[in-house]
Structure 1
Amino acid sequence: MPAQSAEQLWKAYNETTDTNGASYQTRWFGEQNNPAEVQAFADAILAGTKTATTTPLDTYTAEQVAIPQVGDYNVLLDGNMKPAAVLKTVVSELIPFYRISGEHAYHEGDGDRSIGDWRKRKTEEFTPVLEEHGQNLSPDTPMVSEVFEVVYRNN
């Protein structure tokens, strides 16, 4: 029977492996008030199309949220805010916007997966977010570049 809560899914995962007392956070991709978008991202992650993400460093500092670290666990939530999988961060780097690689853009799984398309999409996405915090997007804007893997699925 599938887990009905993040806590149940985390417990089920812990029964299959030794996480050495690690903890988890819940996480979803996209806007929470747009369940279809959140579901589409969750589906892409579960399909293996999306294995990476990028977020302006300013977003973490402005929201006082910890920057992902290698070895962090997250319970991925779907469009209904139900647990879908456990993710583990395998890479977390601070990189200037224009130094994000084509490989990373490909692994984000958006659009045509090219670096040109990625830059266009992320410029449109990040510009208003940074402006809300009194910042501007530039080639040198620090980005948190993260790669994650699905380590457990909610079956």
Structure 2
Amino acid sequence: MWPRIGGLRTLDLGTPGKMRARLNTLVRNGVKTATAGLLDEYADEGEELERVGERLALVDDHDTLVGVVEVTGVEVVRFADVPWDFARSEGEGDRSIEEWRAGHAAYWARVGTPVTDDSRIVCVRFRLVSAGDGGVLGT
């Protein structure tokens, strides 16, 4: 089960360190409005998929609240079928869907969960509703 803060599931992007700090900054600046995860990780953790309208606590390396996002869309697709408009909304600077796929495949391989074209990817879109600590939820 994923950690909770004030009843909200946490959203810990990337790996701890520079990557997570960069991704959190992109979210807080409104550049990153989506994230991709592996469907198998949800089953492994006993978690349900996010649902539209759900709020998630964006956390740093120490599980400290740095913002709150609201889920605006959830879709499960094959890795080979992730659309470019979704990949672009991740805001990580990829210049093409091929670049996005190569970068994400390399990331998941590095963390020990290699993907294939048929791997199921959870594509989560969100909007920032609160930036900063304190857990103030925007509308």
Task: Check whether TM > 0.5.
Answer: yes
Alignment counterpart, residue 13 of structure 2, candidates 29, 33, 39: 29
Alignment counterpart, residue 120 of structure 1, candidates 74, 80, 102: 102
SS of the equivalent of 2:72 reads: strand
SS of the equivalent of 2:102 reads: helix
Match of 1:107? 89
Report matched runs for 1:1-155 at 5 Å. Answer: 6-7=5-6, 23-31=7-15, 34-127=16-109, 129-130=112-113, 137-154=115-132
**Structure with higher helix content:** 1
In 1, the alpha carbon distance for the partners of 2:62 and 2:44 equals: 27
Aligned length: 128
Instruction: Note the alpha carbon deviations across 1:95-139, whole angstroms, 9 max, x for none.
Output: 1111111111111112434211101011112235335xxxxx222
Which amino acid is the alignment partner of residue 113 of structure 2? L
Which amino acid is the alignment partner of residue 29 of structure 1? L
Gaps of 5+ in 1: 1-5, 8-22, 132-136
TM-score with structure 2 setting the length: 0.80
Aligned-pair identity in percent equals: 25
In 2, the alpha carbon distance for the partners of 1:127 and 1:38 equals: 17
- Work out whether residues 42 and 79 of structure 1, in 8 Å CA contact, stay in contact via their aligned partners in 2: no
Of the structure 1 ranges 74-83 and 139-148, higher mean CA displacement relative to structure 2 is found in 74-83
In 1, the alpha carbon distance for the partners of 2:37 and 2:65 equals: 22
**CA distance 1:81–1:36, shift in 2 (3 Å):** farther
Kindly name which structure, 1 or 2, has the bigger radius of gyration based on alpha carbons.
1
- Work out whether residues 35 and 80 of structure 1, in 8 Å CA contact, stay in contact via their aligned partners in 2: no
Gaps of 5+ in 2: 134-139
- Work out whether residues 76 and 86 of structure 1, in 8 Å CA contact, stay in contact via their aligned partners in 2: yes
